[in-house]
């Protein structure tokens, strides 16, 4: 089998490339502590002392994180691309 015939698994990033990572932030001044985000993404948000907190500042891309940001009634959650700063959620 020649090198051109071999398949590279799609799940494996090419050497030297980065995998996408998102940054998750909650604005404590805007957060009402409704807990909607924690209900939508319980592994990614916790409400403590009446304010939502992300369980990690940096996460792999996940639909639940976007859904949580989109569900926040005050848009207190911002999800951005770690490397570029591009806004992922909430949609503007």
CA distance 27 to 52: 9
The answer on pLDDT for 86 being more than 50 is yes
Is there a domain that residue 77 lies in?
yes
| 48-55, long-range: CB < 8 A, 24+ apart | 51/26, 52/26, 52/76, 52/77, 53/26, 54/24, 54/25, 54/26
Domain total in the chain:
1
Domain of 40, in residue numbers? 27-89
The answer on pLDDT for 12 being more than 80 is no
For β-strands 77-81 and 87-89, DSSP reports them as antiparallel
- What does pTM read for this prediction? 0.78
Is there a domain that residue 36 lies in?
yes
CATH code, domain with 54: 3.30.70.20
Is there a domain that residue 19 lies in?
no
CA distance 85 to 30: 20
Is there a domain that residue 11 lies in?
no
The answer on pLDDT for 52 being more than 50 is yes
The answer on pLDDT for 9 being more than 80 is no
Is there a domain that residue 61 lies in?
yes
The closest of 48, 92, 85, 52 to 68, measured between CA atoms, is: 52
């Amino acid at each position: 089998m020649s090198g051109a015939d071999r398949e590279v698994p799609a799940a494996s990033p090419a050497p030297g490339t980065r995998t996408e990572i998102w940054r998750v932030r909650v604005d404590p001044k805007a957060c009402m502590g409704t807990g909607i985000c924690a209900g939508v993404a319980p592994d990614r948000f916790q409400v403590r002392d009446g304010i939502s907190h992300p369980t990690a500042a940096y996460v792999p891309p996940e639909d639940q994180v976007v859904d949580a940001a989109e569900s926040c009634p005050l848009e207190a959650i911002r999800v951005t691309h770690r490397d570029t700063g591009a806004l992922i959620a909430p949609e503007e």
